[in-house]
Structure 1
Amino acid sequence: MSNHRPLAETLRPKNLDDFFGQSHLLNTQHPFRQAIDSQRLHSMILWGPSGTGKTTLARIIASQVKGHFEQLSAVLDGVKELRAVVENAKKFQKIGKQTLLFVDEIHRFNKVQQDGFLPHIESGLLMLIGATTENPSFEINKALLSRLSVYTLNALNTQELEQILQRAFKHESLTLPNEVLRMQIISASSGDARRLINIVEQISLSGLTLLNTESLNQLLQDKISIFDKGGDVFYQQLSAFHKSVRGSSPDGALYWMARMLVSGCDTKTITRRLLAIASEDIGNADPRALEITLNAWDVFARVGAKEGNRAIAQAVVYCAVAPKSNAVYKAFNQAMAEAKETPGLPVPKHLCNAPTQLMDELGYGKKYRYAHDESDAFVRGQTYFPSELGEQAYYQPSNRGLEIKIGEKLKQLRGL
């Protein structure tokens, strides 16, 4: 049994032979593996969820490079610590050794701090390996990102986790449990090797004489959620929720809603997205989707989360099974694009008001026909666009839901 050193640190692989997972990067045909084996390394970003081996890979790479290894944490360190690293790197450069700098959670450095790496990467003073759980496209300065290779690490699969589980139980001199309990532990780890090892360490430290489903559940009841409201996992789950509603899968939508709620997501975040969906993906095919979602939000505000979440779930199901149309969304985008391209076109005089005598004399508001004076409240032949642009038809209703009727009416009106 480990005494003071965490089990995850004790079991950390020292070489690639003991490393589990990331076979897509570590097969001998991949440039990443070839670079490690040949010791022709370059600055890079390792992007992936927690517990996938980013820090371990960086240390293995450092052991391959016969140079100087430095490590910073963007949570704990800043510009002062980076300057110290640079000064040390200059000393090692004089004796022919390159410095490999590993920066954990590099996305937590702001854009100005990230700029501090650029001159030292370009000069060859530092070889940078950054680890991040966030999408580098959004979180890493573009100038810095252009100088780095990005390698994506995947959450570990069941087979890889079971290998790590066996190794951890053996190290702690514990009897490997039956398959049901092993799968329960693996499921609780959510693809995170560190979390898996920490669970085994908890089992070892707890001194459980009888490991069964009930005692394991009790041990795992306070396990840390993988939901991060500011992180990439959050956006992936929210995206899955959106796409489930858009794809008319009430079951998928409810699952992702539940996943986010269980992980601590604020219901308002989910409801805001649902309102956007009601407009973007349902639109006038079923205008009640907006109304029902707003009503559900009102119920949530009045009765609280326990009962209110049911109202939100009701709105989620309604939106998922509603007829879909993005016709308004597309029409608005088209109108916005046209407006940006034609900012100087004047408003036609017949659509202008004439609040002054001069404007009246210049013809402002002349020839405008008031729709309510017409027999069917529709002015035949009246135009509503700048003459240089001509009349446009951005909105093309779908053949679903209420838009079937809307389309029939528009066909008639535009024909006239």
Structure 2
Amino acid sequence: MATTPLAELLRPKTLDDFIGQLHIVGKNAILRQAIESGNIPSMIFWGPPGVGKTTLAFIISQKLNRPFYTLSAISSGVKDVRKVISDAKSSIAGTILFIDEIHRFNKSQQDSLLGAVEKGIITLIGATTENPSFEVISPLLSRCQVYILKELDKEHLLQLLERGKKRLESDHETKIKIKEDDALLRVSGGDARKLLNALELVIQAEQGAKKEIEITNDKVQRVIQKNLAIYDKSGEMHYDIISAFIKSLRGSDPNASVYWLARMVEAGEDPKFIARRMLILASEDIGNANPTALVIAQSCFDAVNVIGYPECRIILSQTAIYLASSAKSNASYMAIKDAQKLVSKTGDLSVPLAVRNAPTRLMKDIGYGKGYKYAHDYDQNFADLEFLPEKIKGTKFYEPGDNARERELRARLKSLWKNKYKY
């Protein structure tokens, strides 16, 4: 007989027992007020795995005395959605439909929800680890409130660990001493379910006839490695594998990249998820070292939206190999990061008069646009002009990388700006 996992045994039934996400369910927070009032909108919970999306839906089902249906986008389709809507039409109380991994629903499946949500026949609660702006159709998204759930921090994980320890001590009549918790926290990756699964695996491996179990980092690492298949039976290595894939691309290893890609393909990973990650990497880690990388990554993303498995694996492989083999530069990423950091410190500095827009006579009279030089009227299509606010003039955000293309860019910028930006 299968035993109930510790994570399920400890699933909170009330908001008072819920750990984390105080910005939406803490005292006087907007979602908490909605739940306690019993008047909830259709909503999307967006956040990493193991942070409470499904648990919040479960708490709503316990709190509200309304019909509550649960579907998984992996195993459900339009037929299942229509059955819930049909049942909801004959129900006096408003029906709540929870769809886990709603990002896996295609457009037609999401379209089947739209009318019922719009008319209030069902209140939709969707859970997703993917940005709903990309994965949920606009008409449906516009009718839902999006709540962003954050990764659990160390304090929250330690609270969960203590609850898990007490429950296991009671169930197994064993004294548990957590001497070291670094390894448990590390393997959890901020995921409550992974943390409790890991703790349970260690206790099961160590129990026997022992009346006291001591948990150390070495013991956790040894047990988790030995039981990795069990530990990952729910696909919890999803983020570990995509991390290895991206790091292999960044590290210019096409062989490792294709291996991790194959792992994801074999596991049935959403090809759009893979393509989107490569699209980000093409700009973040390659950038102007090879601008064509972004074009190819975008073409890949467009292609996998048209061509599904099994053929799209070839397109993913071609793109992964190209990106891995390309020259690398994070200069564009660092430039916007540094610029944003300065903006947060200096606030809204005034735009220099010369580069302000002057659409009216009054604006021209008070100096808007005065002194502006039209670049194409000058040699090399360049005019020496100050474009930055006075307070930060001469600040350099873009530092070209040490690769063939960006060395050319550096030489051109140095030729144009002389010593101003010290290129």
Which range, TM-score by smaller chain? 0.5 to 0.7
- SS state at 2:177 partner: coil
Aligned to 2:5: 6
Matched, 1:215 2:209: no
CA deviations over 1:244-293 (Å, ceiling 9, x no partner): xxxxxxxxx87x99xx98x9468999999877668734579xxxxxxxxx
- SS state at 2:93 partner: coil
Name the CA shift for 1:186/1:159 in 2 (closer, same or farther; >3 Å): same
Structure 2 counterparts to residues 41-120 of structure 1, below 5 A: 41-92=40-91, 96-120=92-116
Name the CA shift for 1:406/1:218 in 2 (closer, same or farther; >3 Å): same
Structure 2 counterparts to residues 3-402 of structure 1, below 5 A: 4-92=3-91, 96-173=92-169, 174-180=174-180, 182-208=181-207, 211-221=215-225, 222=228, 224=232, 228=238, 234=242, 264=260, 280-282=287-289, 319=329, 402=408
Q: TM-score, normalised by structure 1?
A: 0.60
Structure 2 segments unaligned to the other structure (5+ residues):
264-273, 292-320, 337-375, 385-397, 401-406, 418-423
- SS state at 1:16 partner: coil
8 Å Cα contact 2:285-2:330 kept in structure 1: no
Q: Give the Cα separation in 2 of the matches to 1:77 and 1:46.
A: 19
Per-residue deviation at 1:393? Answer: 6.0
8 Å Cα contact 2:188-2:195 kept in structure 1: yes
- SS state at 1:85 partner: helix
8 Å Cα contact 1:50-1:192 kept in structure 2: yes
Per-residue deviation at 1:402? Answer: 4.8
Write the letter of the residue equivalent to 2:143. Answer: R
Quote the RMSD (CA, aligned, Å). Answer: 4.5
Name the CA shift for 1:394/1:150 in 2 (closer, same or farther; >3 Å): farther
Per-residue deviation at 1:227? Answer: 6.0
Q: Give the Cα separation in 2 of the matches to 1:118 and 1:273.
A: 30
- SS state at 1:128 partner: strand
| Worse-matched range after superposition: 30-39 or 214-223 | 214-223
Name the CA shift for 1:408/1:164 in 2 (closer, same or farther; >3 Å): closer
- SS state at 1:4 partner: coil
Name the CA shift for 1:214/1:111 in 2 (closer, same or farther; >3 Å): same
- SS state at 2:108 partner: helix
Name the CA shift for 1:76/1:394 in 2 (closer, same or farther; >3 Å): farther
Per-residue deviation at 1:392? Answer: 9.8
Per-residue deviation at 1:126? Answer: 0.1
Per-residue deviation at 1:80? Answer: 1.3
Q: Quick one: percent identity of the two aligned structures? A: 34
8 Å Cα contact 2:42-2:143 kept in structure 1: yes
Q: Give the Cα separation in 2 of the matches to 1:314 and 1:175.
A: 55
8 Å Cα contact 2:44-2:145 kept in structure 1: yes
Name the CA shift for 1:320/1:123 in 2 (closer, same or farther; >3 Å): closer
Q: Give the Cα separation in 2 of the matches to 1:271 and 1:131.
A: 24
Q: Give the Cα separation in 1 of the matches to 2:331 and 2:87.
A: 62
Name the CA shift for 1:131/1:178 in 2 (closer, same or farther; >3 Å): same
- SS state at 1:49 partner: coil
Rg comparison, structure with higher value: 1
- SS state at 1:150 partner: strand
Q: TM-score, normalised by structure 2?
A: 0.59
Name the CA shift for 1:320/1:129 in 2 (closer, same or farther; >3 Å): closer
Per-residue deviation at 1:69? Answer: 0.6
Q: Give the Cα separation in 1 of the matches to 2:35 and 2:279.
A: 46
Write the letter of the residue equivalent to 1:154. Answer: K
Structure 1 segments unaligned to the other structure (5+ residues):
243-252, 285-308, 327-388, 412-416
Q: Give the Cα separation in 2 of the matches to 1:190 and 1:66.
A: 35
- SS state at 1:117 partner: helix
CA deviations over 1:75-127 (Å, ceiling 9, x no partner): 111111112111211221xxx21111000111111011101111101111100
